[in-house]
A and B are shown apart, each in its own frame.
Chain A
Amino acid sequence: MVALVIGLALFFDFTNGFHDTANAMATPIATGAIKPKTAVTLAAVLNLVGAFLSTEVAKTVSGGIIREGSDGVQITPDIIFAGLMGAILWNMITWLKGLPSSSSHALFGGLIGAAIAGIGFNSVNLETLLQKVILPAVFAPLIAGLVAYLCTRLAYALTSRHDPDTGSKLTQKRGGFRTGQIFTSSLVALAHGTNDAQKTMGIITLVLISAGTQAPGSGPQFWVITACAVAIAVGTYAGGWRIIRTMGSGLTEVKPAQGFAAETSTASAILASSHLGFALSTTQVASGSVIGSGMGRKGTTVRWNMVGKIALGWLFTLPAAGIVGALTALLVKTGVVGVVIAAVAGTAAVLFMFVYSRQSSVGHHNAVEVEEAGQTVRFAKKKALARARAKAHRQKDAATADQHKDAATADQQEDAQR
C-alpha cells in the first residue's frame, strides 16, 4: 500500500508539473520571447533546481487541515491514496478542458473528501480550511492582478516616448522586454519548483511517517526530494499545451512589456507568499497576473467569459476532487479488492482522457498559433515600413512634411501592434 501511494504521489507530481508549465511559460511563448520547446526544457530544468533549493514548504504542507496527531485522528495511507486519486483525476479533467486550476487545491480537496468519507466529518478543521484554502483563493488573483495591472501601466508609461515638438511617437524598443521575459519566466519556473514539488514531498513524508518507517516531525529524505524533483521536471517537460494556449492567448493578447509585468508580479507574489507564511496558489496568482496585465494595457480586451470559465473551474476544484476522493476512500474501506478496483478505475479514467485528448491534439506546434500569425503580420509591416523609408530617401525632392507624416503613421501602427 505504501509503495502504491508513493507511486501515485509521484504521478500526481507529474500532472502538477505539466498542468503548471503554463504558469511560467505561456506568456513568453505567446510573445515569441522563447521557442515553445526551449521554454518547456528551461522550465523543467528550473523546476528541478527549485525543488532542491528549499524544503521549508514541505514541512508544513497540508498540516492542520485534517486533524492529525495524538489528539486528532490518525491519517492513514488509505486516506492519502484516495485523496491523491481525486486530485489526479481533477487535474486530468481540467487539463483536458484547458483550464488552469490549482493543483494544490485539487490535492486539498481530494484529501478532505477522503478524510470525511473515511473517518468522519469532524476530521476536517474548518477554520484552517478557510484560512489555508478559501481566503488565499480569493486574494491570490486579486493581489497578483492588481500588482500586474500597476506594473503594466508603469512599464508602458515609462517607455512611451513622444516628440516634444511634433507630438509624434518615437521608437520605443518595447521588444526589449522580450529578453527580460526570459529571466522573469525562469524565475516563475524556479518559484514553482520551490513551491509545488514540496507538496508531494510533504505527502510522501506523511505516508512514510504514518507507515512507521520514518520518525515523526522529521523532514523529507533525500531520495524523496530527488524523486519528486525529477517527477515534476518530467511533467513540466511534457508540457500542458492546452493550458498554455488558454493562458497565452485565451485570456488576453499578451505583448512583451505586458508579459514581463505579469511574470514579475507572479514571481514576486509566489516567492513572497511561500516565504512569509501565507501560501498562495501558483496557478491562481499567474492567472490573476495575466488578467491584470491585460487590463493595464490600453486597447486590449480581456475575454471575460474565459475568465468566468476559469473561475467556475476554481469553484469546483475543491468539491469535485473531494467527491472523487470520498468515493475512492469508500472503495478502499472495503479491503484489498476495493483498492484494486480503485486503482484500475483510476488508471482507466486517466488512459481514457489521454486517448480522448488525442482526438484534438494540442502540441508545441499549435499551442499559440494566434500570436505566430500576428508576428508574421508585424514582420511584413516592418518590411513595408523599411521599403517606404527607402523609397522616401530616393525621392529626396518629395515633401519632407509628407515623409514625416508617413513615418509617424507607420510608427503609430507599430505601436498599436505592441
Chain B
Amino acid sequence: MKWLELLTVAGTTLVSAVTVVVLYSLGVRLTAIAGDAEQASPRAKRYFAYTCFGLCGLAVLFGLYLIIPYFSK
C-alpha cells in the first residue's frame, strides 16, 4: 500500500493551501485596516496588503511551475 504517497499528498495539500489562505487573509485584513477612518498611514497598509496579494499569487505560480512538465524538463 502506498501510505507514504498518501502522507506526502496530505502534507503538500495542507502546506500549499494554508500558505495561500494565510497570505490572502492577511491581505484582506490589511485592506480593511487601511480603510479605517482614523488611520496613521493608510497608504503603507495598503501597500502591505498588495504585497500580501502579490506573494499569494507568486506562491500559486510557483506551484504551477513545479507541476507543468514543460518547465521541469
Task: Note whether A and B form a binding pair.
Answer: yes
A172 touches B60 (CB 8 A): no
The answer to whether residues A276 and B69 also contact, given A176-B27, A269-B13 and a CB cut-off of 8 A, is: no
**How many A residues, CB 8 Å from partner?**
46
A173 touches B16 (CB 8 A): no
B25 touches A159 (CB 8 A): yes
Residues of A within 8 A of B2 (CB): 131, 277-278
The answer to whether residues A176 and B67 also contact, given A171-B36, A260-B21, A265-B17 and a CB cut-off of 8 A, is: no
Residues of B within 8 A of A151 (CB): 17-18, 21
The answer to whether residues A278 and B6 also contact, given A173-B32, A264-B21 and a CB cut-off of 8 A, is: yes
A54 touches B5 (CB 8 A): no
Q: How far is the CA of A158 from the CA of B66 in the complex (A)?
A: 28
The answer to whether residues A280 and B9 also contact, given A53-B68, A171-B35, A173-B28 and a CB cut-off of 8 A, is: yes
A residues 106-164 in Cβ contact with B at 8 Å? 131, 135, 139, 143-144, 146-148, 150-151, 154-155, 158-159, 161
The answer to whether residues A150 and B14 also contact, given A277-B2, A277-B5 and a CB cut-off of 8 A, is: yes
A139 touches B13 (CB 8 A): no
Per DSSP, chain B at the interface is helix
Residues of A within 8 A of B58 (CB): none
B63 touches A174 (CB 8 A): no
Q: B22 at the A/B interface (Cβ < 8 Å)?
A: yes
Q: A183 at the A/B interface (Cβ < 8 Å)?
A: yes
Per-position binary interface string of chain B over residues 6-45, scored 1 when its CB falls under 8 Å from any chain A CB and 0 otherwise: 1011101110111011101111110111011000000000
Q: A10 at the A/B interface (Cβ < 8 Å)?
A: no
Chain B: which residue is nearest A272 at the CB level?
B12
Chain A: which residue is nearest B7 at the CB level?
A278
**How many B residues, CB 8 Å from partner?**
36
B residues 49-73 in Cβ contact with A at 8 Å? 56-57, 60, 63, 66-70
Residues of A within 8 A of B10 (CB): 139, 143
Distance from A210 Cβ to chain B, minimum over Cβ atoms (Å): 26
A268 touches B29 (CB 8 A): no
Distance from B60 Cβ to chain A, minimum over Cβ atoms (Å): 7
Residues of B within 8 A of A (CB): 1-2, 5-6, 8-10, 12-14, 16-18, 20-22, 24-29, 31-33, 35-36, 56-57, 60, 63, 66-70
Residues of A within 8 A of B (CB): 53-54, 56, 131, 135, 139, 143-144, 146-148, 150-151, 154-155, 158-159, 161, 170-174, 176-177, 180, 183-184, 187, 194, 257, 260-261, 264-265, 267-269, 271-273, 275-278, 280
Known: A155-B25, A264-B17. 13 other contacts (CB 8 A): A54-B67, A139-B10, A148-B17, A151-B18, A158-B26, A159-B28, A170-B36, A183-B57, A269-B17, A272-B9, A272-B12, A272-B13, A278-B6
